[in-house]
Amino acid sequence: MDSPRHVGKIRELVYELKVEAVMTRKLITLAPEAPMSGLRSILKSNRISGVPVVSGQTLVGLVSVEDFINWLAQGGRDCPVGERMSREVRTLSPGEPLVHAIGKLEQYGYGRLPVVDGERLVGLVTKGDIIEGLLQEMQVNSREEEELHRYRASHFFEDMIADRLTVNFQYQVRGKTIEQGGEVASDLKRSFKRLGLHPEVVRRAAIATYEAEMNVIIYAREGTVDVSVDPETIHIIVRDQGQGIPDIQQALQPGFSTAPDWVRELGFGAGMGLPNIRSCARSLDITSEPGQGTTLRISIPLEPERVCA
Amino acid sequence: MTISWVLEILDAELLTGQGAEGRELASACGSDLMSDVLCLRSAPNLLLTALTNPQCVRTAEMAEIAAICFVQGKKPPAETLELARRNGLPLLATGLSMFTACGRLFAAGLRCCGEGA
Ligand SMILES: Nc1ncnc2c1ncn2[C@@H]1O[C@H](COP(=O)(O)OP(=O)(O)OP(=O)(O)O)[C@@H](O)[C@H]1O
Ligand SMILES: [Mg+2]
C-alpha cells in the first residue's frame, strides 16, 4: 500500500469517525469539593495533565497542571478544587466528527477535551486517543480493502476484450504422499479467489479438485490437473495413468470404495469422493481404461445460481 | 457460540489460532472421514475429529471450516500444526471422546449444519 493513498484514507476517516469512537470512557474525575493539595498526586500517579471536575455527572470545570502551578505560585493555601478550576471548558459532543476534535485541540492548544452529552460528562479525548483510533480503523479498512481488491477482479472477464477468452491453469500431481495431498486444490483455490470468482463457485471447484487430486494420489500415484476458465464455465480435467476404474457406475455409488485399511486410517475411503465431485459440478464425465488410466472432466458454471446441488 | 466458549465447554486447549477466540461458530459436525465432511451441503463451522494428519486442515481449507477440534486427547503432528498456522486455522484439542464432546456442544445449543434444531 502506498502512502499517498494512506494519507487520503486518513483524511476521509477524520470526517467519518465520530468522537465517541475514539474517546476514553474510563475517567478520572474530581468533585468540586476535593482539596487542591491532593491534585498533584492524582495527576502524577495517573500520568495525566488535567482532570475534569464533575458535580454528580455534570461537568462543571477542568483543573490542570497549569491551574496547580498558578495555585502554588500564589501561596498554595489549601482550598477546594472548585475554586481554582477553569470553568470555561471547551467540550466536544459524542457525535462530532474527529476533524472537529483535532481542530479544537489545535486551536486552543489543549492536551485533552472532555466529551459531554448535554451536560453529562461521557468521555475524554486526547491526541493519543485520536491517533490510536485512526490506526485501528486503518487496520480494519485495509482488511476490507483486501476483500474489495479480490472482488474487483471479478470484472476480469468483462474487462478483457476478445472474441474468445479462456484462462488456463496447469498442475502436476507427482511424488505426493496422502498426507501431502491437497496442494493443487489449495493453489487453485487461491488463484480463483484472486481471479475474483464467486466464493460459492470457488468452494465447489476447490472441493471437486481436492477429491480428484486425492484419488489420483491414492489410486494412481501421479497425474495432471488442467483447468480452463471461460466467461461461463470452469473446466477441470484430471488425468492419470493409474490402474483405472473397472466399473464406473459402481465407483460413482455413494459409499463404494476399494480403499485399503491403511488409507481409511488416514481419513479416506468413505466412498464419497466421486459423488462429492458430482454434486459440486454441473457435469462429471469419467472415462477409464483398466490398466491405462482415468480421466475426469468436471465442469462448474461461473454463475453460482446455475450450480446444481 | 464463540471459540472461547467451545474451549470452556470441552475443557479444550487452543493449539493454534491464538487471537481468534472470539470467532463465531454457528454449526458443527463430527467425522473421521474427510469426504463425509466435504459432502455436507454447507460445511460446518467447527469440525470435531480424531484424525490429526494434515488432510483435516486441507479439508477445512476447501470447505471453509472455521476451526477444528481434535477429540480423544489426540495431538496433531508438527506438519498439521504448521499447515494450520499457515492457513490461519484455529486448532483445538480436548481429552473428551467424540461422543461426549459432540453431546456437550449439542446440549449447549450447537447444531449440525443443514439440520434444524
Ligand atoms: N483415479 C482413480 N483411479 C483408479 N480408481 C479410482 C480412481 N478414482 C476413484 N477410483 C475408484 O473409485 C472408488 C470410489 O472413489 P471415491 O473417490 O468416490 O471414494 P474413495 O476414494 O474410495 O473414498 P473417499 O473419496 O470418500 O475418501 C475408489 O475406491 C476407487 O476404487
Ligand atoms: Mg476418493
How does pLDDT run along chain A (309 residues), one tens digit per residue? 455 666 777 777 888 788 988 898 888 999 999 999 999 999 998 888 889 999 998 999 999 898 999 999 999 899 999 999 999 888 999 888 888 888 888 888 888 899 999 889 999 998 888 888 888 887 777 766 666 555 555 667 777 888 888 999 999 999 888 988 999 999 999 999 888 888 889 999 999 999 999 999 999 999 999 999 998 999 999 999 999 999 999 999 999 999 999 999 999 999 999 999 999 999 999 999 999 999 999 999 998 764 444
B15-74 residues touching A, CB cutoff 8 A: 32-36, 38-39, 41, 43, 49, 51, 53-56, 58-59, 61-64
Is residue B60 within 8 Å of residue B68, measured between CB atoms? yes
Looking at the CA of A270, name the nearest ligand.
1
Query: Ligand 1: does its nearest atom lie under 6 Å from the Cβ of A258?
Result: yes
Ligand 1 centroid vs B111 CA: distance in angstroms?
30
ipTM topping 0.95: no
Hey, which of A237, A245, A286 would you mutate to test ligand 1's pocket, going by the most ligand atoms within 8 Å of its Cβ? A245
Structural domain boundaries in chain A: 3-130, 152-306
| Position in ligand 1 atom list of the atom nearest CA A244 | 4
Is domain A152-306 classified as CATH 3.40.50.150? no
pTM of the model: 0.67
- The matching CATH number, chosen from 3.30.360.10, 3.40.1390.20, 1.10.10.10, 3.40.50.970, for B3-107 is 3.40.1390.20
Spell out the domain ranges in chain B. Answer: 3-107
Question: What CATH fold (topology level) applies to the domain A3-130?
Answer: CBS-domain (3.10.580)
Angular region, A214: left φ>0, alpha ψ -120 to 50, beta rest: alpha
When scoring A177, A192, A209, A210 by the number of chain B Cβ atoms within 10 A, the one with the most, hence best to mutate, is A210
Q: Return the half-sphere exposure (C-beta side, CA atoms, 13 A cut-off) of residue A165.
A: 10
Of A184, A207, A219, best ligand 1 pocket probe by most atoms within 8 Å of the beta carbon: A219
